[in-house]
Amino acid sequence: MEQPNVVAGIDGSKLSTSVADYASWIAQTVGVPLTFLHNLEHREPPVSSDLSGSIGLGSREHLLDELIELEARRNKLLVEEGKSMLDTAKERASQVGVEHCTTLQRHGVLSETLVELEDSIRVLVLGARGEDHEEGSSALGHQIESIIRALHKPVLIVNREFRQPKRLLLAYDGSEAANKALNWLCTSPLYKSMTCHVVHVCDKSDKGSQLLAEAKQTLEAAGVSAETRLIEGNAETELLGYQHKHNIDLLVMGSFGHSRLREMLLGSFTLKMLNKASIPLLLLR
C-alpha cells in the first residue's frame, strides 16, 4: 500500500458484508484506495504430552503424524476460504464503483498485524463481532479493545447492515480526543453532505455552551452543517437517547480518554458505548 488506504477487516461473520459496504462507501466518497484484509490467527501445534502414555511409542508417533497432517490440511483450507472471502468482498466493492481495491491475507494476532500496517491505514473498518461469536450474540469482539488502544488511526466499528449516513452525532467534551474528532470531521470530504449534531453532556451547565458554540463555528467554517445540544445527565444514557430520538446514523467520538486506573474504577465509557449503541461508531484517539 503506497498511500494510506481504507482497510477493512473481514472474516466469516455476518457483519463482514456490512464492513465491506461501509469501507466501500468511505473509499469511494473520499477517493482513496481500499484494501480488504483477512487475518488468520496462529494455532498451537498438537502437544505430544497430551496423548495417553499407555499406547505404544510407535502408535503415538503415528497419531502425531496424523494430527500434524490434519492441521496442515486445515490451515490450507482456511487460507483458501480466506482468499474466497477476499475475492467476494473485492467484487462487491467493484459493483458499487470502487476502482482501486486490493486484498491482503496475513497470519498472526490481528492487533499486531494492524500495528505493522498502521502507516498505510487512513481508516480501519471492523465488525463489532467476529465469526467466533455465537449466533445471535450481541457481545463485543474480544480483540476490539486491544485494536483501538493499539492504533492511532480512526476506527469505524460496524454493528448493523449498511445504511449511508445522513446524520452523525459528535459526542463533544472539549478534550484532546474530542477535538481530534472535530478536526477530522472538518477535513474529510466524507461528512460534507451530512448534518452534524454536536452534543455535550454535563452534570451541570458549566462551560458547555461556549464549547458547543466554538465547535459549531469550526464545523460551519469547514462547510459542515451543524446543530448543537447541551444536555445535563448521564453521558451514556443521554447520548443513546439522543441518537434514537433524532435518527442518527453514525456516532463519532474520541476513545479511551481517561487513564487506565480511572477506567478500572469507573468502567470505560468507550466500551459501554460500543456495547450499547445500535449504530456504527467512528472512534479517534
Give the model confidence (pLDDT) of 213-256 as tens digits.
Answer: 999 999 999 999 999 999 998 889 999 999 999 999 999 998 76
Q: Which of 69-73, 210-214, 236-240, 260-264 has the lowest mean pLDDT?
A: 260-264
Is the Cβ–Cβ distance between 169 and 229 less than 8 Å? Answer: no
Q: Is residue 8 within 8 Å of residue 110, measured between CB atoms?
A: no
Q: Is 271:145 a contact under the CB 8 Å cutoff?
A: yes
3-state secondary structure (DSSP) of residue 170: strand
Report which of 201, 263, 211 is spatially closest to residue 234, judged by C-alpha positions: 201
Taking CA 262 as the corner, what is the angle to CA 257 and CA 266, rounded to the nearest 5 degrees? 100
> What is the widest separation between alpha-carbon atoms in the chain?
79
Average pLDDT, the chain: 85
Q: What is the rounded CA–CA span in Å between residue 14 and residue 132? A: 11
Which residue has cell 476506527? 155
Stretch 122-137: mean pLDDT: 74
Predicted TM-score (pTM) of this structure: 0.85
Cell numbers representing residue 217 in the block? 463555528
CB atoms within 10 A of CB 69: 10
Q: What pLDDT does residue 46 have?
A: 47
* Size (the chain), residues: 285
- 8 Å CB contact between 129 and 15: yes
Question: Please, what are the domains in the chain?
Answer: 5-42+81-157 (3.40.50.620), 163-284 (3.40.50.620)
Residue 260 has pLDDT above 80, yes or no: no
- Residue 214 CA: distances (Å) to CA of 152, 208, 227: 25, 10, 12
Choice between 282 and 53, residue whose per-residue pLDDT is larger: 282
Instruction: Assign 266 a pLDDT band (cuts: 50, 70, 90).
Output: very low
Tens-place pLDDT, residues 20-69 = 999 999 999 999 999 999 999 865 554 444 544 544 555 677 777 777 77
Please tell me whether residue 195 adopts helix, strand or coil conformation. strand
CB contact set of 118 (below 8 Å; sequence gap of 6+) = 151, 152, 153
Dihedral, CA atoms, 171, 212, 235, 195, nearest 10 degrees? -40
Q: Check residue 141 and give its pLDDT.
A: 66
